[in-house]
Amino acid sequence: MRRCRISLWQPHPGSKLTRLPCDNQPFTPDTGSQKFVQTEAVKRHSLRDKEAAVAALLLVTYRQQGALAGLQKKMITFVKPGPENASDTLDHALQAAAAKGIQSVVLASNSGQTAFMLLDKIKKVSPAQTFRPVIVTHVCEFKQGTVQELSDIDRRKLESEGCRVVTAAHALSAGERSFSSTFGGTSRLEVTAHTLRLFGQGTKVALEIGLMARDAGAIKPGEPVIAIGGSGRGADTAIILTPGTSSSLLSSQIHEIICKPGLYKGDE
């Protein structure tokens, strides 16, 4: 396979840099930007493995077809986090999915309540738009004394409605939490989770369920998806994400934040 460099980087309007084409040709920067090009652009955007190349080409194709070019609007900011934002969050998420041609909608739902709300809203969307809902639950025994919060009856009902239901180890804690809770300290995964919480709990959840869905094979490699998370219950955050697997966490890309809580002091 012919090696090529694919750039998804967009230059600043005032920059003299040109974007890297898919033909092994180097950047043509102004001389003052030579170091930046060599150390940042070329290294970051050189694709060294087949899966990364396929993912990047898929993303470029989406953009060329206009799938990721629509919805030129500002991010929606809710006054405070919480389940009262669930209905609006799902509405904004489905609008973004329809505008950009994204089919996979990954949703965190523990009891199934928000999942059924999503299904009701999908049924009201134009039949021309096909969605693939992926519901990600808590891991079994997340709550003490509870084997699984999503009942077998609700799981079967969701699956009969066309949902893929995923239950997997939490990608941003998993086994590392056992060591930190037993011996103290903080693992790198937990640092990652806390960093994502700077944007709100829902953002952390949205990325995490994207990883879990990818681990389970519920979404394709390199496929941009809508990921929806919440703060404890319900939903209050939606992002456009191309997730990696848990083992390739750092290859994930958050493209857009559709909506999230504002997190201003006193609003929580």
Q: Read out DSSP for 93-155? A: HHHHHHHHT--EEEEE-SSSHHHHHHHHHHHHS-TTS--EEEEEPPPTTSSTT-S-SS-HHHH
Which of 98 and 69 is assigned the larger pLDDT?
98
What's residue 42's pLDDT?
44
Mean pLDDT along residues 28-35: 43
Distance CA 180, CA 190 (A): 9
CATH of the domain spanning 76-261, picked from 3.30.1300.10, 3.40.50.970, 3.20.20.70, 3.40.1380.20: 3.40.1380.20
Mean pLDDT along residues 59-77: 62
Closest by CA to 117, choosing from 138, 93, 98, is: 93
Residue 20's Cα: distance from chain center in Å?
26
Q: Is pLDDT above 70 for 51?
A: no
Which of 61 and 108 is assigned the larger pLDDT?
108
Percent of the chain predicted with pLDDT > 90: 51
CA dihedral 20, 207, 245, 101 (to 10 degrees): -60
- Tens digits of per-residue pLDDT, 117-133? 999 999 887 665 689 99
Which of 247 and 68 is assigned the larger pLDDT?
247
What's residue 12's pLDDT?
43
Q: Is pLDDT above 70 for 28?
A: no
Q: Is pLDDT above 50 for 25?
A: no
Cβ-based neighbour number of residue 259 at 10 Å: 23
- Tens digits of per-residue pLDDT, 200-219? 999 999 999 999 999 999 99
Those residues with Cβ within 8 angstroms of residue 84's Cβ, 6 or more apart along the chain or in another chain: 234
Distance CA 42, CA 27 (A): 8
Mean pLDDT along residues 42-70: 57
Backbone angles phi, psi at 166, to 5 degrees: -115, 130
Q: Is pLDDT above 50 for 41?
A: no
What's residue 64's pLDDT?
55
Q: Where are the domains of the chain?
A: 76-261
- What amino acid occupies position 231? S
Closest by CA to 258, choosing from 34, 98, 32, 19, is: 98
- Is 189 within 8 Å of 172 (Cβ atoms)? yes
Q: Is pLDDT above 90 for 66?
A: no
What mean pLDDT, rounded, does the chain reach? 79
**What separation in angstroms does the CA of 194 have from each of 46, 78, 217, 225, 228?**
29, 21, 26, 23, 18
Distance CA 252, CA 241 (A): 7
What's residue 268's pLDDT?
59
Lowest-pLDDT choice from 85-99, 169-183, 197-211, 212-226? 169-183
- Band of residue 24 on the pLDDT scale cut at 50, 70, 90: very low
Which of 253 and 10 is assigned the larger pLDDT?
253
Q: Is the pTM of this model over 0.75?
A: no
